Structure formats: C-alpha cells, structure tokens
C-alpha cells in the first residue's frame, strides 16, 4: 500500500483496480473460488475492504430477486432427497463437519480476521462454537427428532404418535459480528432436521460465509442444499422472507421488527436473535479480582461487537472502589491492534459506521457530564477503525449510551446499595438478552439470576457458560428477540409437528344404533373412569 494511502480513515481504502501500488489482502484466485458459489446473474459486484489497513479483499457478485428465486428452487429440489436420507447419515455428516472445522481452523481464522478485524482469539472461539454446535446436534439427533407415541383418547383403542417434519427451506439472514458462527450455527440444526437453507450473510463478511458453505460440501452435504445469495438487506433479505418456509434472523431489533411483520403477513414462523444492553452485577461478596478479570472478557470480547457482551456494570457499594481499580488497570493492560497476531487482546471495530456510533455515544456522554476512566478515543495509528476499550462513570438517562445498544467497547459503571435495586435497574429498558452475576455464593447468584428478565444469565462468567452449553437454549426476552437457538428449541423451530392417530375396533361415535344422549352418558362415565385412573 502506498504511503499516502496509509490511513484509509482519511484517504479511503486503497483499491488495486484504480491504484497500481495498492495490494489485495487475499489471493484473487482463492477469492474467486469462494465467490463462485453465490447465486448471481446481475453482473453487479460490491467491493469489500478489510478493517486491517483498509486492504481490498474482494468484489463480491450481487444477487437480484430472480437469483434468490433460483436459489430457492435449487434448495427445494435438494431438500426433498435430503429429508428422505436416514437421520443417522445426516448426523454423521455433521460430525464430519466438526472435524473439518477443527482441521481447517487456521484458514477459517485468517479469513474471519481479514474480514472483521477482530482479535485472533475471538475468531478461534467462532470455530470452537460451530464445532460444539455440530457435535451437540449430531449426538442428540434422535432425542430431538425421533417420532414418539403419546397417550391416545382411549387406551388400547386409540394409538397416537407425533412426528417432526422439516419445514422445507429455511431462510437465514445473519450479521457481520461473528462471521463464521452467525453464518453456520443456526443452519446446522436446520439441516439435521431435514431442511435446506438459503443464506444471506452480511455483505461485509461474505467470504467467511462462503468458505463455511464450501466446508459443508466437503463434509458431504448435498451441493444444492445450502444456497448463498448476496446483496443489500432490504431487497435480498426481503426476497428471502418472501420465498422461505421459516426465517431465522440475527441482527438489530429494528430490522427484526420488519422481518417479523413480513413473516406474519405470510403466516410463516421466524426466530429473531436481536440486540441487548446487557447488565453485569458484582455482588458485595464477589471475588473482586475474578470479577474484574471476567468484566474485561464480558465487555471487551470482540471489541464489544457481541450481542451478549456487557454494556452496563452494576457494582455493590462495599466493593465498588476496589473493583473499579482492578477493572480499569486490567483494561489498560490490554494489547490493541488490527492484525493476524495472536497477541492482540482486543481487535478492531469492523467499519467506519461502527466507529462512528461508538465515537458518538462516548462524545455525547462526555458532553453531558460522564467521566472517562480509561479509553475514550480512536486509535488510527493501530488501524482505521480501532477504538480504545472505554470505561465511563456518571452516565445518566439523558445520554445515548444509557439505554441504547452501543455494540462497541464501551461500558458504564453504576454503584448500587441493595440487590433489589440492582435487579430493578438491570431489568430497566427494552432489552432482555444476557446478564452476568458475580458472587462467591453460587446459590445466591442463581437466585438473583432468576429475578433478571434476560434469556440467559451467567453466574461467575460473562457469556461463555451459557453460550457454550449447547443444551441450554439461548435468546432474548422482551425486545431482544423471539425464539431460541441451541437446545431442543433450537432445532424444533425448524420442524412442523405432525400428529397421526389411528382408531381401532370402535369408532368415536355412538355404537350399535345407540342414541346421542346415551352415547353422551357412556362417554361421561368413561371420562370419569379415566380421571380416576390418573390418565392425562
Ligand atoms: P442489521 O439488522 O442491520 O443486519 C443484520 C442482517 O440483516 C444483515 O445481513 C443485513 O443485510 C440484513 N438486513 C438489513 N435490513 C434488512 C431488511 N430490511 N430485511 C431483511 N434483511 C435485512 O444488524 P447489524 O447491525 O448488522 O448487526 C448488529 C446487531 O445484531 C446488533 O444489534 C446485535 O446485538 C445483533 N446481534 C444479535 C445476536 C443475538 O444472538 N441476539 C447475535 C449477533 C448480533
């Protein structure tokens, strides 16, 4: 990259198409092999640049509405055969994917870091999470999907069974913050349940999503089962909602609302994994140093661009000063950077838009009287979108960062005097995604957790304990979402329940010319008897 292009923040990213001194971040034939998979006939492309030095990465082919229809028809065709494939075979394909993900982790991590600018350790966790998801659903396939007998209307006479039938083709619309996890983790249970997928990953992180699709092929999923389309959210995302049998959306609450309306119009289901303004509570008996170390993870993982990361820290009066000292000094010790190096503790934000939001929230808070305990500025010397991990005190309700999601490395500290007050303030606002409680007494932590209106609560951990426990459903209460990923809920959402009941020997109707009145008496007597026998 030329000297005068060294700061893409001010000069714009270098583009080798127009600047012979600029260099692509990735080998062009490697990129072409990935982008070939996009269903696209528009002839249009979108240039993608890396947050690492602004290096150009790709010109990504864009899909039109016709391409999305074509993707759905290919997916529908593949789905019919896939749904008839034995469950054990589908599960074995997921287990092969598990191993391929671990084997190919360096390549995956490189690409995630190129596209997102995140720290390498954060990118590794994506690989681990998707592998965990693949293994969990493969090993629990029968538990979640097998047909089961239920009690019939009359013992012996009525046999009833319940089947799980795939929805058909699932549309998956995902954001950029976890390019690999968000591209794959919701789709794996959909495939296992016998569905096909049409995926629209975010425009900034298409390459990782395409590599993920390539790994699905390598694991042995039928080639047309997972379609990828690219393009602007409202158009291409809208076409996905129009063609899908079910929609899985992850992104902002504002877009989630639009998608919910569109799905309601078509009478199809959707799951919505949306934003949060997550609270962390440090109780008076917490191990202050463990909590401070946990808070660094809770707040600054993925530079705060993590739906379950903490943006509000409530600390008990008795430990407030000690906690703040420990937390701020640990924050100041973090290594920042935008590179492929494992030594980076906190990486870059992904884009100028993210940097703008973070800068605006901090400047607004400071202008209205908040104090910056550490951080509070961009670091263009380290990368175009790097922003320092920032701790604020004195944040009040008139400031943007009080109740709105920043989705960046900024946290507000609040002192509390009683647990009731801490719980009440945690439950304030429209969100209810994730919370974290720190205490030396696990039972007390769990009791406080039960009072917090969030879909997941971690005791003595930030978010990893729930996120990594694949049997535990994950999702939001209130305006943080609808539906759950992970666990039984995470796969059952992709199935229709079909009940089949077979009546034997006698009909459910008056027998042998019996009058309706006599039949009602006989039925009433049998209902009383079944109740006495304790039948459900
Ligand atoms: P976003 O809503 O702007 O975009 C998400 C996806 O939706 C992208 O692929 C985008 O192209 C697409 N899209 C945009 N408008 C659309 C429309 N009208 N119709 C259909 N698709 C459309 O969100 P974002 O800013 O990219 O992502 C960050 C947000 O995602 C944050 O609020 C974060 O909390 C949330 N998030 C939530 C979870 C969770 O599990 N709850 C996980 C990750 C991110």
Which residue puts its alpha carbon closest to atom 14 of ligand 1? 233
Instruction: Give me ligand 1 centre to Cα 250, in Å.
Output: 5
pLDDT at 11 over 90: no
| pLDDT digit string, tens, across residues 465-496 | 999 999 999 999 999 999 999 999 999 999 99
Mean pLDDT, residues 341-356 taken together: 97
Helix (H, G, I), strand (E, B) or coil at 157: coil
pLDDT at 2 over 50: no
The residue with greater pLDDT, 325 or 15, is: 325
Task: Give me the pLDDT at residue 5, please.
Answer: 38
Decide if 430 contacts 275 (C-beta within 8 A).
no
pLDDT at 431 over 50: yes
Q: Is 479 in the pocket of ligand 1 (CB under 6 A)?
A: no
pLDDT tier for residue 10 given thresholds of 50, 70 and 90 = very low
Q: Is 370 in the pocket of ligand 1 (CB under 6 A)?
A: no
Closest atom of ligand 1 relative to the 485 alpha carbon: 40
Task: Give me the pLDDT at residue 89, please.
Answer: 98
Q: Is 174 in the pocket of ligand 1 (CB under 6 A)?
A: yes
DSSP, residue by residue, 223-288: GGGEEE--S-IIIIIHHHHHH-SEEEEES-HHHHHHHHHHHHHHT-EEEEE----EEEEE-TTS-H
Task: Give me the pLDDT at residue 17, please.
Answer: 65
pLDDT tier for residue 1 given thresholds of 50, 70 and 90 = very low
Alpha carbon dihedral 22, 24, 25, 29, in 10-degree steps, equals -160
The answer to whether the pTM exceeds 0.85 is yes
Task: Give me the pLDDT at residue 23, please.
Answer: 64
Closest atom of ligand 1 relative to the 240 alpha carbon: 20
| Lowest mean pLDDT, pick from 23-32, 385-394, 519-528 | 23-32
Instruction: Count other C-beta atoms under 10 Å from residue 421's C-beta.
Output: 13
From 134, 144, 141, 142, select the one nearest 95 (Cα to Cα): 134
pLDDT at 58 over 80: yes
| pLDDT digit string, tens, across residues 130-182 | 999 999 999 999 999 999 999 999 999 999 999 999 999 999 999 999 999 99
Q: Mean pLDDT score of the chain, rounded to an integer?
A: 95
| pLDDT digit string, tens, across residues 179-236 | 999 999 999 999 999 999 999 999 999 999 999 999 999 999 999 999 999 999 999 9
269 φ/ψ angles, rounded to the nearest 5 degrees = -80, 160
pLDDT at 418 over 80: yes
Q: Is 274 in the pocket of ligand 1 (CB under 6 A)?
A: yes
Mean pLDDT, residues 323-330 taken together: 98
Task: Give me the pLDDT at residue 512, please.
Answer: 84
Q: Is 186 in the pocket of ligand 1 (CB under 6 A)?
A: no
Query: Of 17, 107, 218, 273, which residue is the catalytic one?
Result: 273
388 a catalytic residue: no
Which phi-psi region, left, alpha or beta, contains residue 151 (left: φ > 0; alpha: ψ -120 to 50)?
Answer: beta
Helices 105-116 and 120-139: crossing angle in degrees, nearest 10, is 130
């Amino acid at each position: 990259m030329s000297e005068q292009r060294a700061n893409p923040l001010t000069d714009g990213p270098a583009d080798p198409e127009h600047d012979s001194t600029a260099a692509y971040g990735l080998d062009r034939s490697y990129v072409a092999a990935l982008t070939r998979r996009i269903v696209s006939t528009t002839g249009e492309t979108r240039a993608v640049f890396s947050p690492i030095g602004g290096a150009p990465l790709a010109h990504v082919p864009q899909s039109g509405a016709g391409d999305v229809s074509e993707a759905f028809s290919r997916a529908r065709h593949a789905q019919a055969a896939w749904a008839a494939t034995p469950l054990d075979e589908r599960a074995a394909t997921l287990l092969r994917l598990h191993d391929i993900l671990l084997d190919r982790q360096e390549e995956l991590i490189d690409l995630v870091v190129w596209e997102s600018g995140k720290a390498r350790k954060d990118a590794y966790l994506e690989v681990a999470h998707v592998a965990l998801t693949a293994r969990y659903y493969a090993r629990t396939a029968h538990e979640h999907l097998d047909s089961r007998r239920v009690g019939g209307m009359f013992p012996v006479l009525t046999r009833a069974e319940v089947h799980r039938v795939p929805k058909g083709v699932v549309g998956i619309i995902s954001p950029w913050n976890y390019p690999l996890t968000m591209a794959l983790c919701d789709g794996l249970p959909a495939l296992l349940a016998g569905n096909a997928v049409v995926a629209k990953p975010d425009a900034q992180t298409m390459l990782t999503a395409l590599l993920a699709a390539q790994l699905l092929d390598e694991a042995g999923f039928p080639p047309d089962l997972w379609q990828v389309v690219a393009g602007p959210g409202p158009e291409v995302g809208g076409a996905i909602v129009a063609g899908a049998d079910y929609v899985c959306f992850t992104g902002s609450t504002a877009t989630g609302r639009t998608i919910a309306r569109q799905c309601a119009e078509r009478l199809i289901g959707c799951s919505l994994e949306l934003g949060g303004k997550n609270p962390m509570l440090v109780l008076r008996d917490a191990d202050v140093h463990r909590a401070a170390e946990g808070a660094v993870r809770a707040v600054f993982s993925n530079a705060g661009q993590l739906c379950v990361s903490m943006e509000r820290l409530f600390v008990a009066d008795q430990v407030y000063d000690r906690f703040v000292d420990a937390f701020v000094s640990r924050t100041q010790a973090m290594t920042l950077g935008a590179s492929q190096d494992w030594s980076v503790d906190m990486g870059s934000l992904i884009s100028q838009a993210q940097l703008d939001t973070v800068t605006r929230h901090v400047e607004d808070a400071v202008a209205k009287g908040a104090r910056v305990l550490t951080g509070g500025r961009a670091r263009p010397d380290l990368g175009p979108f790097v922003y320092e991990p920032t701790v604020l005190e004195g944040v009040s309700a008139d400031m943007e960062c009080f109740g709105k999601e920043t989705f960046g490395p900024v946290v507000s500290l609040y002192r509390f005097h009683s647990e009731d007050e801490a719980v009440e303030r945690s439950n304030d606002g429209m969100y209810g995604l994730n919370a974290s409680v720190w205490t030396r007494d696990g039972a007390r932590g769990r009791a406080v957790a039960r009072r917090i209106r969030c879909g997941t609560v971690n005791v003595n951990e930030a978010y990893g304990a729930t996120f990594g426990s694949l049997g535990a459903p994950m999702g939001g209460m209130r305006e943080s979402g609808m539906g759950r990923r992970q666990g039984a809920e995470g796969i059952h959402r992709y199935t229709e329940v079909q009940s089949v009941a077979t009546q034997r020997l006698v009909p459910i109707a008056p027998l042998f010319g019996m009058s309706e009145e006599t039949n009602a008496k006989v039925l009433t007597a049998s209902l009383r008897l079944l109740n006495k026998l304790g039948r459900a």
